[in-house]
């Protein structure tokens, strides 16, 4: 039997004139917030609880008065009981830095629905939620030479965010571990980090270990297409690696497909276990899932959004 060549999906269409989301979905995003497990110090005033003490209306603690303190913060009721001066401390509200890492290697430009398009939308929606809450957002695409969007803040930053994501194209080759090692050396103000990738890189463990070596709150979106999760093929095929590996000849019979699905399940379980041991939230993403339902429901259930 003549072997067929299993080709990759066609390249993404030009999305420059096509918005990532409609206005109805964006209004739903306005009601969400990124859920953080612990307070993190940011740069300037925002809408997040900070480990520092500030001047919000939420009481945090007392401390003894020292010369030079603002006497307006003295708790006179406590002075009446203790006959000592104490200051009221309040929770400071500061911005967080939200880190979006997006895999744009050639293997992401595959599947129907396309993995890279789905990952763009995940990054865009997550980033918009952060901007709507006055957090600071930065995006780094790794694939080829890699691109980084300067950080933005506030809803006006959504224009730059969406434009940057729409312009991203897959290409080049990626060493995931090297990218993550570089990122932890240069990233300021660790905060929530969203990584969208298919993890089709032998160094995925090293990459995740590198990110978890700094106090990011990491959510891993493991993006796979339905053709990868449950391939519906039959016959003899030549599998071509879009990132330069040698072609592989296979016979796609029932036994081969069964073993493939079992191996995929074991691999995903291994990734999830690896993530759990490092405090990383692992979310398996099937691009056939309706995006709006997935983002608004699944990420709330997983404690990523509220």
Pair (245, 117) in one structural domain: yes
Task: Give me the chain's average pLDDT, please.
Answer: 85
Residue 282 included in any domain? yes
**Residue 85, pLDDT above cutoff 90:** no
CB 198 within 8 A of CB 165: no
Pair (143, 87) in one structural domain: no
Pair (199, 80) in one structural domain: no
**Which parts of 104-143 are beta strand (E)?**
136-142
pLDDT tens for each residue of 45-64: 444 444 444 444 455 566 67
> Residue 236, Cβ neighbours under 10 Å: how many?
13
**Residue 16, pLDDT above cutoff 60:** no
Pair (185, 160) in one structural domain: yes
pLDDT at site 47 = 47
Residues 131-140 have a mean pLDDT of 93
Phi first, then psi, for residue 125 (nearest 5°) are: -70, -45
Pair (110, 214) in one structural domain: yes
pLDDT tens for each residue of 174-233: 789 999 999 999 998 899 999 999 999 999 999 999 999 999 999 999 999 999 999 998
Residue 45 included in any domain? no
CB 297 within 8 A of CB 268: no
Rounded Cα–Cα distance for residues 224 and 122 (Å): 13
H-run or E-run covering 182 = helix 176-186
Pair (81, 120) in one structural domain: no
CATH of the domain at 163: 3.40.50.410
Estimate to the nearest angstrom the gap between the alpha carbon of 71 and the chain centroid.
44
CB 197 within 8 A of CB 223: yes
Domain span at residue 75? 50-94
Total structural domains within the chain: 2
Pair (86, 233) in one structural domain: no
């Amino acid at each position: 039997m003549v072997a067929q060549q299993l080709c990759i999906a066609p390249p993404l269409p030009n999305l420059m004139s096509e918005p990532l989301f409609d206005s109805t979905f964006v209004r739903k995003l306005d009601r969400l917030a990124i859920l953080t497990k612990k307070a993190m110090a940011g740069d300037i005033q925002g809408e997040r609880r900070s480990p520092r003490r500030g001047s919000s209306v939420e009481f945090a603690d007392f401390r003894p008065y020292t010369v030079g303190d603002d006497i307006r913060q003295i708790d006179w009721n406590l002075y009446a009981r203790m006959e000592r001066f104490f200051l009221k401390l309040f929770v400071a509200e500061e911005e967080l830095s939200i880190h979006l890492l997006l895999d744009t290697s050639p293997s992401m430009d595959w599947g129907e629905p396309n993995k890279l398009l789905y990952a763009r939308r995940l990054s865009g929606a997550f980033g918009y939620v952060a901007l709507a809450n006055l957090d600071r957002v930065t995006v780094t695409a790794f694939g080829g030479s890699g691109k980084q969007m300067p950080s933005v803040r506030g809803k006006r930053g959504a224009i730059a965010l969406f434009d940057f994501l729409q312009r991203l194209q897959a290409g080049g080759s990626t060493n995931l571990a090297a990218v993550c090692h570089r990122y932890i050396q240069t990233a300021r103000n660790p905060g929530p980090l969203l990584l969208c990738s298919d993890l089709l890189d032998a160094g995925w463990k090293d990459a995740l270990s590198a990110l978890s070596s700094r106090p990011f709150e990491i959510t891993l979106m493991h993006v796979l297409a339905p053709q990868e999760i449950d391939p519906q093929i039959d016959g003899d095929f030549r599998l071509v690696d879009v990132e330069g590996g040698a072609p592989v000849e296979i016979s796609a019979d029932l036994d081969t497909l069964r073993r493939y699905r079992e191996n995929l399940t074991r691999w995903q379980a291994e990734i999830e276990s690896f993530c759990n041991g490092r405090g990383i939230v692992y979310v398996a993403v099937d691009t056939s899932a309706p995006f709006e339902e997935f983002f608004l429901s699944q990420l709330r259930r997983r404690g990523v959004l509220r």
